[in-house]
Amino acid sequence: MSSIRSVLIFLTLIVLTRPAFSQQDPKELAQEYMTQAELTLEATKALDDARGLVVTAADLDTTFIKANYEAGRLHLITIDKHLAAKYLLRVYRQDPSYRFDIEYSIGRSFQYGEKFDDAIKFYNLYKEKLAKKSNYQGKDKVEEAVVDRAIFECQNAKEYFANPKNFSIVNIGREINSEYEDYVPVLNEQETELFFTTRRRDDNLNQNVADDNKPWEDIFFATKQGNTWSYAKNIGMPVNTPYHNSNLGLSADGNTLFIYMDDGGGDIYYSERANGVWSEPVPMPGIINSSFEEKSVSISADEKTLYFSSNRPGGFGGLDLYRATKDSKGEWSNVKNLGPKINTDLDDDAPFIDYDLVTLYFSSKGHKGMGGFDVFKSTLDAKGNEWSDPENLGYPINTPDNDIYFVSSKDSKRAYYSSVREDGMGYTDIYMITIPDGLKNPQPAVAKNPEPPKDTAQTTTEPVVVKNEPKTDPVVVTPTEPKNNPTKNEPKTEPKTEPKNEPKKEPKKPIVPLKYVVTVLDAADKSPLDAKVKLVGAKDNIIVGSTSQGNGVYEFTIKNAQAKDYRLSIDRDGYAFQNMNVKIQGATTEEKVVTRTIELRKLSVGVTSILRNIYFDFDKATFETESYTELNKLEAMMRTNNNMTIELAGHTDAIGTKAYNMYLSQKRAEAVKDYLTKKGIDTRRIKAVGYGKSKPLASNDDESEGRELNRRVEFKVLSN
């Protein structure tokens, strides 16, 4: 596919010959960018490249309806779906009849952007239009049932977001993830080997690109020593070929790898490892594959049952989940649809059968979801051969975008999956989920007379039951009471009583959640601002539940009894975002409210802001995993303010020579610039400068209060 790359290089050179921010009429320049985008889409399927061109055209001329509509449409079908509303609203304000489904598309963007009330508003506006023109049959018509489903998803999302679960979701790290798509994690039972699919350029067997101008899919693997993953490597031939190769599942012992091939409409293959060598992949025997698509697979730990997805006829709609069992001859047979409890009229995909052989995790666009694929759990009653009603794993595991390819650890306290999140390194990344209480949540066994919990803020209110123990009323036994019943002639004794003068023990006071209240204001006129405000654990990424009080006031509920470090983030279009680390004392037995006021500054010329959560390896200009949330916020700010140019300023502490610090600070500023340009930000919009140790924020005499603060990167708005 080298010809595709040549076409795109040629088209890019045409555009780049036009000087950025030149004196050419912006409307004429917008037309040229739009023409190049159309030529790109005619010659290739390079949607990302075309999106960059139409976004530039739309921002050069906000009245250019076609460019703005295409910018919105391409965002919705690629990445940064929440940004589509900005461009579609420009179209809607100028010509609400430009597309019949324009309100629906705006609603979708708001749904992806977690603005659920706004989404519902536009979905209802579309339904009103549909009711007035019920006979309309254009290609841009969206059926009412589809819109009702979207409204249902938004209502579900509001419920899930208001009650985030106690899950820690952390990017698995740069050893595994890349700037490209990384997905479908599968692990062996010991969690010492990880296989996944990636579209990265480095170490790809085919150095050319596919028809979307991205590298081909390859299967990579990594091994773990202790808690550290090795850098992922290509599994190589014969498993990989020069074209698309994707893994699907892995046996518990790690020696059978299931693979997706395009043959026969999409079939399941497998490769076996012996003496460290993988065999040539071969199609699954028997009746697993069909002339239709078989897309995902999971094999039980005892290797007697296989779960897979297929869109073969006879299902409930889209992809359905099926089960096959191994017969006495060792052949796969008895293929059955899992039925209407599991399958919906939408896509149901990516099954994972747990090590207990009865708990099934899968992703679905149906059921009680909040948009895209959500992860669900269902349990098989082996006696009745019935599945329980699927349970949405909730927020923050699930989001309005696709959350899929979920696999659990043997003890159910960890899981891995593919998701698009704000701390991602590229497109789709692989994340590890830590679940302190386990996913299957069996009734916990507890001693007969349990001690009261030390930290009631962290305990659940569900009843605790001892397995197989008969329910009996508690019996109070006094020290003098004989074990046998007294005889009729035995004199009755009065029970001992507490001495009257002994003080009564006060009942233990319950923990009262702490209220952390954030008020967001405009820095210039002190007016309240609505913004996106989030509070998460600095180390574990556990999200704190919040409610908006209106007028720029957001209330968070802290239930932990211990002090903890958090990351507070505030974003609003047109303003410099703020990310800050805050330490919040734990909840106590007394009501307590902690207030904080945050002032946001408009992105006007001269405004500076410190990128406080960008961390580099010691003495290097390579990012640590924790940096990507901040980097992605900077990228999003550059995308939503397409005419803005900035200076990235690198700074060091006073350790080392002046010349070396100047060199290191320059390299770090350039590292941030390189990250942004690889994500599609025009290099001419960013100036990278190293200042060494010449502009300290604090004294260099102390590490935590001085030198650490001085090692930083700042951005400064040069034009907007």
Cα angle: 479, vertex 485, 487; to 5 degrees: 115
Dump pLDDT digits (tens) for 204-214. 999 899 988 99
Q: What is the pLDDT of residue 698?
A: 58
Domain 508-602: state its class. Answer: mainly beta
Return mean pLDDT, the chain. 86
- Across 188-212, b (16+ Cβ under 10 Å) vs e yields beeeebbbbbbbbeeebbbeebbeb
Please say if the pLDDT value at position 376 is more than 70: yes
Q: What is the pLDDT of residue 232?
A: 97
Q: Which residue from 146, 139, 135, 131 is spatially nearest to 99, judged by alpha carbons?
A: 139
Q: What is the pLDDT of residue 24?
A: 79
Q: What is the pLDDT of residue 678?
A: 83
Q: How far apart (Å, rounded) are the C-alpha atoms in residues 705 and 699?
A: 8
What SS3 class is residue 550? strand
2-162 placed in CATH 1.25.40.10: yes
Global pTM?
0.81
Q: What is the pLDDT of residue 457?
A: 37
Q: What is the pLDDT of residue 471?
A: 39
712 or 559: which carries more pLDDT confidence? 559
What SS3 class is residue 519? strand
Dump pLDDT digits (tens) for 573-589. 899 999 888 999 989 99
| DSSP string for residues in 416-464 | EEEE--TT-SSSSEEEEEE-TT-SS-PPPP--SSPPPPS-GGGS--S--
Structure tokens at 89: 């609203």
Q: Report yes or no: 639 and 686 within 8 Å, Cβ to Cβ.
A: no
Dump pLDDT digits (tens) for 445-501. 333 333 433 333 333 333 333 344 433 444 343 444 444 444 444 444 555 555 556
Dump pLDDT digits (tens) for 662-676. 998 898 899 899 989
Please say if the pLDDT value at position 718 is more than 50: yes
Q: Which residue from 30, 11, 40 is spatially nearest to 68, judged by alpha carbons?
A: 30
Dump pLDDT digits (tens) for 522-553. 999 999 999 999 999 988 888 998 888 999 99
* Secondary structure E strands in 497-563: 514-522, 532-537, 546-550, 553-558
Number of H helices, E strands in the chain: 11, 34
Dump pLDDT digits (tens) for 64-110. 999 999 999 999 999 889 999 999 999 999 999 999 999 999 999 99
Cα 409 to chain centroid, rounded: 19
Please say if the pLDDT value at position 316 is more than 50: yes
Q: How far apart (Å, rounded) are the C-alpha atoms in residues 108 and 118?
A: 10
Mean pLDDT of 248-253: 96
Give the rounded percent of residues in the chain with a pLDDT score beyond 70: 86
The single-letter DSSP state of residue 698 is: S
Q: How is the chain split into domains, by residue range?
A: 2-162, 168-434, 508-602, 603-720
Please say if the pLDDT value at position 19 is more than 80: no
Q: Dihedral through CA 538, CA 544, CA 548, CA 553, nearest 10?
A: -40
Q: What is the pLDDT of residue 357?
A: 95
CB atoms within 10 A of CB 309: 27
Please say if the pLDDT value at position 338 is more than 80: yes
Please say if the pLDDT value at position 701 is more than 90: no
Positive or negative, the CA dihedral 585, 587, 591, 596 is: positive
Strand partners, 647: 687, 716
Please say if the pLDDT value at position 182 is more than 70: yes
Please say if the pLDDT value at position 414 is more than 90: yes
Helix axes 2-16, 26-43, angle to 10 degrees: 180
Q: What is the pLDDT of residue 434?
A: 93
Q: What is the pLDDT of residue 453?
A: 37
Strand partners, 516: 556, 594
Q: What is the pLDDT of residue 706?
A: 46
Helix axes 47-60, 26-43, angle to 10 degrees: 170
- Across 338-356, b (16+ Cβ under 10 Å) vs e yields beeebbbebbbbbbbbbbe
Domain 603-720: state its class. Answer: alpha beta
Q: How far apart (Å, rounded) are the C-alpha atoms in residues 296 and 281?
A: 16
Q: What is the pLDDT of residue 540?
A: 86
Dump pLDDT digits (tens) for 606-639. 999 888 778 776 677 777 777 888 888 898 889 8
pLDDT confidence bin for 658, thresholds 50/70/90: confident
Q: What is the pLDDT of residue 100?
A: 97
Give the rounded percent of residues in the chain with a pLDDT score beyond 90: 63
Q: What is the pLDDT of residue 474?
A: 41
Q: Report yes or no: 43 and 7 within 8 Å, Cβ to Cβ.
A: yes
| DSSP string for residues in 146-187 | HHHHHHHHHHHHHHHHHS--S-EEEE--TTT--SS-EEEEEE
Q: Which residue from 359, 325, 324 is spatially nearest to 342, judged by alpha carbons?
A: 359
Q: Among 15-19, 149-153, 213-217, 355-359, name the one with the lowest average pLDDT.
A: 15-19
Question: Exposed, middle or buried, 384 (CB in 10 Å: 0-12/13-18/19+)?
Answer: exposed
Q: What is the pLDDT of residue 425?
A: 83
- Of 3.40.50.2000, 2.120.10.30, 3.40.50.2030, 3.40.1390.30, the CATH number of 168-434 is 2.120.10.30
Please say if the pLDDT value at position 561 is more than 70: yes
Q: Among 123-137, 442-456, 557-571, name the one with the lowest average pLDDT.
A: 442-456
Q: Which amino acid is at 669?
A: A
Q: What is the pLDDT of residue 288?
A: 94
What SS3 class is residue 19? coil
Structure tokens at 158: 């509001």
